[in-house]
Structure 1
Amino acid sequence: MAIGKVWHELEVEVPASEAWELFSTLALARFVEQQLPDMIEKAEAIHGDGGVGTIVHVKFASGAEHKEKFTKIDNETRVKEVEVIEGGFLDFGLSLYRVRFEIIEKLGAAGDSEPSCCCIIKTTVEYDVKEETSDASNASSLVSIEPFVTIAEAAKIHLMKNNLYSIKQFREHHQLMQCQINLDPYLKILSALISVSSWMNCSSLKILFVSSDSEILRSKFSNLELILLMAYSKWFSQVRYDA
């Protein structure tokens, strides 16, 4: 059982599924190698393809290195655990160094069971000290959550860039906070239209225009923006907007 634990949480304005796609596979190792060269010089999978049992050889910019193994990947709960199996902290008095990534989906408004566009990246480091280590406190002091804070923040920027319309950006751009519009009825219309691919044309736009209260919608969005909204409705339908 681990004797020590440190953790960090960071909210990200993207769906949990998108964050999990990055954190659950080898994509995270490649991302850190490319985006944080001052931290990781090279991360190479020497066994496996990203599933449980995969072993990655990590060379740090500092010159240190270790091998880590994917010991748990749960796509249902969005939890991934990685343990150092050779080198690294194990050479400095630790018997266990485990990192757990959790992508926690935030729900909508109170009492609403539908997911929102936001999630939380939670990183936990668990560690234990070898029995023969004379100075357990010194070995424990080597453990820090800060590298994973850096990774989470870099991942947030990356995910937000890939997400063309975050909730905050969408609201700010169209000033929905000021006009007090609840977009749920319109999102339902958009979702229905996009679900029938043969309707993705001008006739579907006309159907949208003649819907009830369409004057409000038309006053806030241009025709081009409405077409773009329909194109992205698969993503928007997972989001609950309460301006």
Structure 2
Amino acid sequence: MKVTGSLSAETEVCVPASEAWDIYGSGKVVGVVVPKLFKQIDVVSGDGSPGTILEVTFHPGGPPTYQEIIHTVDNEKMVKEIDIYKGGFLDQGFNLFRIRWDIIAKDEKSCIVKLTLILDIKEESMANLSHVSIVPFVGMMTTVNNYLIENHKD
């Protein structure tokens, strides 16, 4: 048996949705968050489209290195989904650990950035669910959103 669930957070950013999507929907996000949050993120294979595999390495003392795969990039709906592909939470009994970014236009000058963690864990590994926190992902969202605001051109 398995257990599924999700955690989410959202914030308003005073930039057009297209501007936010230009960062969140592309590989440009890597340049914004490295080295602030990660030691490095390397492309193992692919070009940033679905199927691309990235290796995420944290600063010393951080979590172990893991790989993620870009699952979905929908430019029309402004949705990007990334799954942990190898290591990380998969080593702790998770069948699925998906990070979903939705960029939702509010008006011409602002948008909502919504982050959702979609989880599927084996019942026998439920104790490891306590290791999951949305806080680091919100930190990443805050870093990117601050970058968007600081580099917004009216």
Structure 1 63/125 Cα, relative in aligned 2: closer, same or farther at 3 Å?
closer
Task: State the AA in 2 paired with 1:32.
Answer: V
Cα displacement (A) at 1:64: 0.8
Cα displacement (A) at 1:162: 1.1
Cα displacement (A) at 1:164: 3.2
Q: How many residues are matched?
A: 151
Given that 2:3 and 2:122 are in contact with CA atoms closer than 8 Å, whether structure 1 keeps it comes out as: no
Which 5+ residue runs of structure 2 have no aligned equivalent? none
Q: Which of 42, 45, 58 is residue 60 of structure 1 equivalent to? A: 58
TM-score, scaled to structure 2: 0.92
Structure number with larger C-alpha Rg: 1
In proportion to residue count, which structure has more helix?
1
CA RMSD of aligned residues (A): 1.5
- How far apart in 1 are the matches of 2:25 and 2:109? 19
The equivalent of 1:50 in structure 2 is 48
- Residues 77-156 of structure 1 aligned to structure 2 (within 5 Å): 77-107=77-107, 116-131=108-123, 133=124, 135-136=125-126, 138-156=127-145
Q: Deviations over 1:167-215 (max 9, x none)?
A: xxxxxxxxxxxxxxxxxxxxxxxxxxxxxxxxxxxxxxxxxxxxxxxxx
Structure with larger RCO (C-alpha < 8 A, sep 6+) = 2
Given that 1:78 and 1:103 are in contact with CA atoms closer than 8 Å, whether structure 2 keeps it comes out as: yes
Task: State the AA in 1 paired with 2:109.
Answer: C
**Runs ≥4 residues deviating over 2 A:** none
Percent identity (aligned): 36
Aligned partner of residue 19 in structure 1, secondary structure: helix
Structure 1 2/28 Cα, relative in aligned 2: closer, same or farther at 3 Å?
farther
- How far apart in 1 are the matches of 2:56 and 2:30? 9
TM-score, scaled to structure 1: 0.59
- How far apart in 2 are the matches of 1:15 and 1:50? 22
- How far apart in 1 are the matches of 2:63 and 2:114? 27
Given that 2:16 and 2:110 are in contact with CA atoms closer than 8 Å, whether structure 1 keeps it comes out as: yes
The equivalent of 2:151 in structure 1 is 162
Cα displacement (A) at 1:70: 0.4
Q: Deviations over 1:87-107 (max 9, x none)?
A: 001111211100000000003
Cα displacement (A) at 1:42: 0.9
Aligned partner of residue 18 in structure 2, secondary structure: helix
- How far apart in 2 are the matches of 1:48 and 1:75? 18
Which 5+ residue runs of structure 1 have no aligned equivalent? 108-115, 166-243
In proportion to residue count, which structure has more strand?
2
